[in-house]
Structure 1
Amino acid sequence: MHRLLFLLFASYSMGLAAQEMTPEKLYEIIEQESDTVKVVGNSYHFVLNDAMLICVYDENANRMRIIAPVVKLDEIGEDEILNALVANFHSALDVKYALSDEIIWSVYTHPLQQLSDAQVVDAIQQVYAAALTFGSSYSSTNLVFPGNKKKVEKPKAKPLNKT
């Protein structure tokens, strides 16, 4: 019985190893899902429904990320930034809004080798949706976890009238 369980586990483990994500496989999936794709070093720049997305990978670090620029920081106010932070908890599920180089990005990160084909497709869709819905629903899918969906406005202090 132990031998049978070992053989089943070993064959399952070997099947998982055979399904490791590679940069080549990642490219094939992105090519199928996007309108155009261009290789730039260890990244793939691609367009989906007129939106630019970038997939950056590092085989040595076993990491990948798919990102999309959303808006320049100086083009939005504090409310949008706070709403994005709330969304990171409730409605931006596998993606997060992040700030880098004065640009707000929609970002998905994952270990490269453990990534499945379906996860790549889902990541592309979520990054695209989060970028598209910034400023409105701030969501990457239709699923929203319960709780505060937008920041609560604090009452503004009334100025004192000096007489």
Structure 2
Amino acid sequence: MIRILAIVAFLLPAYAHAQETEPHMTLPRMAEIVLALDPEAQLSGAGFSLTIDDIPVLIVTDVRANRMRAMVPIRSAETMTADEMRRVMQANFDSALDARYAVARGQLWGVFLHPFKELERNQFISGVAQTVNVAKTYGSLYSSGAGQFGTGDSGDLQRELIERLLEQGEEI
């Protein structure tokens, strides 16, 4: 127990410093990031709609509840087979990572959820990119592209979107 406390005491200053380096997320800051990702994005109250790689992305926020959600429609959930549903649940466990497959109102979605205020720029950009990737890879790899076991070309191709969007938001 003492050893664990010593480790925590050692890491705490670095953790506290990391928490202070980036300002809390605000709607104007999120709007700035969204517009860097898609200059034609539509801003509406506490929500945004944008397009990344021809994929529509909806972002809703609730500042009072300290939550945000990025969503990408994938397909009708009404006609999904049990095997397809099982596969998205497996992906939620191992390859979707920060993004998730979800069902609401008869639709299969790719989603990224996070506390709003604590959301950092790169987390937000990566979460949006991962959400787009789970939509793009539905029916094949079911992957967010942020991490993948094994080798091959797919991981690098999916990671490319995350890297490109992080670059676009770098100056913000």
TM-score (norm 2): 0.72
Sequence identity (%)? 30
SS in 2 for 1:113: coil
Kept after mapping to 1: 8 A contact 2:97/2:146: no
Q: Which runs of 5+ in 2 are unaligned?
A: 1-12, 151-172
Residues 89 and 101 of structure 2 are in contact (CA less than 8 Å); yes or no, is this contact kept in structure 1? yes
Match of 2:68 among 50, 64, 67: 64
> Could you tell me which residue of structure 1 aligns to residue 6 of structure 2?
none
* One-letter amino acid of the structure 1 residue matched with residue 119 of structure 2: L
Structure exhibiting the larger radius of gyration computed from Cα positions: 1
Residue 161 of structure 1 is matched in structure 2 by none
Query: Contact (CA 8 Å) 2:98, 2:127: kept in 1 or not?
Result: yes
TM-score normalised over the length of structure 1? 0.76
SS at match of 2:85: helix
Equivalent positions of 1:1-163 (< 5 A) are 16=20, 19-34=23-38, 36-144=40-148
Letter in 1 for 2:99: V
Moved over 6 A (4+): none
Contact 2:42/2:49 (8 A) holds in 1: yes
Q: Matched residue of 2:70: which SS?
A: strand
Q: Please tell me the root mean square deviation across aligned C-alpha atoms, in Å.
A: 2.2
The secondary structure found in structure 1 opposite 2:147 is coil
Q: How many residues matched?
A: 136
1:18 CA drift (Å)? 6.3
